[in-house]
Structure 1
Amino acid sequence: MKDEDKKTSPPAGSITLPYIQGVTEGLSRKIRKAGVLVHVKPTNTIRSMLVSPKDKPKKCDRSCVVYGIKCNNCSSHYIGETERPLRKRLAEHKREPSPVGTHLKSEGHKFDESNVKILDTDSRWLQRGIKESYYIASMDPDLNQDTGRHYLPPVYKPVIKSRDSGFSRESRD
C-alpha cells in the first residue's frame, strides 16, 4: 500500500483502550497497522477520584467484616468477625457474657469506636472465617477464648507470624 492510499482510505474501525503504561503503546501500534483507529482513555481521572455517587458507610455501619477491638485503658484486645452491621456486634460485646464485656466489667474499662479497627472484609462466610482465624493467629489477642471458626494447621504459623497484620502489639501500647 502506498503512503497516499493510507492517508485517503478510511479506517477499518475504531477502538478505545484503557491506558496501561508499557502495554497500551505496543498494542496501539499493532492495531493501527491493521488499519484500525485507536483512542486511548486514562483509567484514573480527576473526576473519578473526586466524585463518588454514594457516601461511604460509617465504620460501625459496615457488615461482613473482620474487626479488632482494643481496650481504651489497657493493651487487651479482641478479634472477631460478623456478617451483621458492626454496630450491633459491638453492642453485644459490651454485655458481660462476652469476653470483652467480662473484661470491661471486671476491670472497669471501656472501649469506643475509635479503638475499633476493620481488619478485612468479605461477604463470603467461609473466607471471612478463615481471615478471622488468620488475624487471631497473627495478632494473638488476649481476650479471644478460641482460635476462630477455622483451624489453621501449625505449618502456617511461621508464615502468619512473619506478616504484619496492621494491629500489632506495638500499636496497642
Structure 2
Amino acid sequence: MEQLSARLDSQGYQFVQETAELPSVDPSLGRKLKKRKTSERIAANDGESDKAIRKILSENVYKNIDDVFAIGSSFSVVTSTLAKLNSMDVNIRFTMEEPGKDGFLPFLNTRVRFNNGRPEIRWHRKASSKNIMLHSRSAHPMYMKVNVARNLRKTSERIAANDGESDKAIRKILSENGYKNGSMNTWRPHSAPDGIALVLPYVNEHISKQVNIVVKRCGLPVRLVFRPPPNLRDILTSSRIYESRCDAEDCLYCSDHKICHLRGTVYMITCSNCGQRYIGETGRPLRERLNEHRRALTSPQSYPTNSFSKHRTEVHTREPPPLLEVKVLHRYLEHPVERKIMEAREIKRHRPEINSRDELAEALTFIA
C-alpha cells in the first residue's frame, strides 16, 4: 500500500511517498487475531478489542521510505536533508537526483519543475524504457488492445492534460507497437516450407542418420540441425566483445559497457578501497549475483559465511561499504563445467585475496 503525503514548513513543501510492508510478523499474531474474533462475538461494540488489534499491528508493521521528493528554499537545505536521512542508520544510503537543464526533475512517472512559483507537471517515461507493450497484431482479444492504448493516454491526461509533448511521445510509442491508421490485425505465423528447425547435439554420423530416418518416417514437420560439440577453443576463449551501453539509470556496475545483463560469465571484482580482488562465476544475469555481493558487504551480520561479509568485517570494519569495480573475464559460457574451468584458470592466474580457502580449493580441482 503506497501513500503520498505533503507537508508545508518554513523551508517549503516536502512530499514523501511511503510503502507499508510486513517484513517481520510476530508468530503469535494469528492467535491474537483469533482471540480478537472471539471477543467480537461476545461484545461486538467492545472498543477495547479494536485498540488491542491496533496495538498488535503497530508493533509488527514497519513503514519504509521508498522515494522522497523535497523542495527546499536553497540547495544547502536539500543537501542537509539528505545528510539527515543518511545519518539515521548505517544501512541507509539515499542518493540525490537534481533537476535537468530544462529544470524538470523526474519523479516516478512524472516530471516536475517550478516556473515563476507555479508547478509544472508532465507525464514521464524513463529513458531506459524499451516502450514494449501488447502489440496490435498479437492474438489477444480486441478489447485488450483497445484498453492498452486507452490506459496509456488516460494516464498521461490524468498527470498533465493538453500537453503536446506527452501526446507526441504517446503517439510514437503506440506507432512502434503497431497502433496506427486505426488498424489492428492479428498476425498469422508463417510456416517454413521445409519445417521448423530442430537443433540436436551431434554425436556421430550413424546416430544422425537414424534420427533423420525416424523423423521422415513419422512425417514430423521439422528440419533437423545437428550442432557440433564445443571444441577446446570454444571452452577456453570468449570471442564476443562488449555490445552496448547499459540502459539502466545510475547503474552501479556498468561504466563504458553493458555487462549487468550478461549470463554465463566469469568475473573479477576489485574492492575500490583496498584493491583486493574476488573471482567468481554465474549462469544468472550478472546484476543478480553482484547484488548478492553488495548485500553481504552492506549487512555482513546477515551473511556470516560469505566471502564479502568477512572482507567487510576484517578489512573495512569501521568504514562504509566500499564500491565494487567489476570486470568480465569470460562470457556466454552456458555449461556450468565450462564456467568452473575458466574460473579455476583465472583464480590460479590472479590469486584473488577475497575468495575463501574453500572456494580456491574447490575451483582448483577442475584443473588439477
Compute the TM-score of the two structures, normalised by the length of structure 1. 0.51
* Contact preservation (8 Å) 2:266, 2:280: yes
Measured at CA, do residues 117 and 55 of structure 1 come closer, stay the same or move farther in structure 2, by a change above 3 Å?
Answer: closer
Q: Quick one: distance in 2 between partners of 1:56 and 1:65?
A: 17
Indicate yes or no: 2:328 matched with 1:118: yes
1:102 aligns with 310
Q: 1:138 aligns with which of 306, 328, 349?
A: 349
User: Aligned-pair distance for 1:104?
Assistant: 2.9
Q: 2:262 aligns with which of 51, 58, 62?
A: 62
Q: Which amino acid aligns with 1:138?
A: R
Deviations 1:78-121, CA, capped at 9 Å, x for gaps: 00000011111011112132212332354034123xx1000012
Q: Which has the larger radius of gyration?
A: 2
Measured at CA, do residues 143 and 55 of structure 1 come closer, stay the same or move farther in structure 2, by a change above 3 Å?
Answer: closer
Q: Quick one: distance in 2 between partners of 1:103 and 1:61?
A: 26
User: Identity of aligned pairs, percent?
Assistant: 32
Q: Quick one: distance in 1 between partners of 2:313 and 2:342?
A: 29
* Contact preservation (8 Å) 2:277, 2:352: yes
* Contact preservation (8 Å) 1:129, 1:150: no
* Contact preservation (8 Å) 1:61, 1:85: yes
Deviations 1:104-152, CA, capped at 9 Å, x for gaps: 354034123xx10000121111111100011011100011112244512
* Contact preservation (8 Å) 1:69, 1:111: no
1:86 aligns with 286
1:20-59 alignment, distance < 5 Å: 58-59=258-259
Deviations 1:20-55, CA, capped at 9 Å, x for gaps: xxxxxxxxxxxxxxxxxxxxxxxxxxxxxxxxxx85
Q: How many residues align?
A: 98
Q: Quick one: distance in 1 between partners of 2:338 and 2:308?
A: 24
Provide the alpha-carbon RMSD of the alignment. Answer: 2.0
Q: Quick one: distance in 1 between partners of 2:285 and 2:309?
A: 19
Q: Quick one: distance in 2 between partners of 1:134 and 1:140?
A: 10
1:10-25 alignment, distance < 5 Å: none
Q: Quick one: distance in 1 between partners of 2:269 and 2:350?
A: 12
Structure 2 stretches lacking a partner, 5+ long: 1-242, 247-257
Q: Which amino acid aligns with 2:327?
A: K
1:128 aligns with 339
Q: Which amino acid aligns with 2:347?
A: I
Q: Which amino acid aligns with 2:262?
A: R
* Contact preservation (8 Å) 2:348, 2:364: no
Q: Quick one: distance in 2 between partners of 1:119 and 1:93?
A: 18
| Structure ranking higher in helix proportion | 1
SS at match of 1:80: strand
